[in-house]
């Protein structure tokens, strides 16, 4: 039995060596695959970054070209439709005035609606004023001059 055990021991030793070599080959292949994957990932990330910068620049250019005319039209329509909420004030960058109009408009619902009606009339008047001004006048008065009321 000792020769049989010796044969089994030799076979086990050979199997262990074969497994060790297979493991080394597998590790080498895995390392190469990981390097390739890392390279592909870096390239994809670089491409994504370039595309993101390009898109951001296009967005920035589009935003810069959206001058006073777009704010005028948007602010005017919102003032007429939702003047009681002061939305048009927020569009023009007048946060304090927008909060005042929104607070009076919402509280007016609880106080018989009269304050809401008054703020709605103010919004209607401002909306009409915004839309009847020329683009240059609107820009100079409300965006450069920062005139918050009428």
Segment holding 92, helix H or strand E: none
Domain tally for the chain?
2
Same domain, 6 and 29: yes
Choosing from 35, 50, 65, the residue where a domain stops is 65
Q: Which of 36-40, 70-74, 98-102, 115-119 has the lowest mean pLDDT?
A: 36-40
Same domain, 19 and 5: yes
CA dihedral 99, 105, 106, 110 (to 10 degrees): 140
Q: What is the mean pLDDT of residues 20-40?
A: 73
Q: What is the mean pLDDT of residues 115-138?
A: 91
Is 150 domain-assigned? Answer: no
Choosing from 32, 49, 65, the residue where a domain stops is 65
Same domain, 72 and 132: yes
Q: What's the pLDDT score for residue 28?
A: 80
Same domain, 134 and 109: yes
Same domain, 34 and 58: yes
Q: How many CB atoms lie within 10 A of CB 22?
A: 10
Q: Decide which of 38 and 98 is more confident.
A: 98
Same domain, 53 and 91: no
144/142 Cα distance (integer angstroms) = 6
Residues with Cβ within 8 Å of 82's Cβ and at least 6 positions away in sequence, in order, are 88, 123
| Residues 57-114 pLDDT 10s | 665 555 455 454 568 999 999 999 999 899 999 999 999 999 999 999 999 888 888 8
Q: Is the pTM of this model over 0.75?
A: no
Q: What is the mean pLDDT of residues 32-59?
A: 69
Same domain, 103 and 128: yes
Q: Are 85 and 101 in contact (CB under 8 A)?
A: yes
60/30 Cα distance (integer angstroms) = 44
């Amino acid at each position: 039995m000792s020769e049989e055990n010796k044969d089994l021991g030799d076979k086990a030793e050979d199997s262990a060596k074969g497994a060790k070599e297979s493991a080394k080959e597998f590790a080498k292949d895995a390392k190469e695959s990981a390097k390739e994957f890392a390279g592909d990932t870096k390239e994809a990330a670089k491409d994504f970054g370039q595309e993101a910068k390009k898109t951001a620049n296009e967005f920035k250019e589009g935003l810069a070209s959206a001058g006073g005319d777009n704010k005028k039209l948007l602010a005017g329509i919102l003032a007429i439709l939702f003047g009681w909420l002061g939305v048009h004030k927020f569009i023009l960058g007048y946060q304090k005035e927008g909060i005042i109009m929104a607070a009076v408009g919402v509280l007016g619902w609880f106080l018989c609606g009269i304050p809401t009606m008054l703020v709605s009339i103010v919004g209607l008047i401002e909306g009409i004023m915004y839309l009847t001004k020329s683009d240059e006048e609107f820009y100079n008065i409300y965006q450069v001059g920062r005139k918050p009321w009428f």
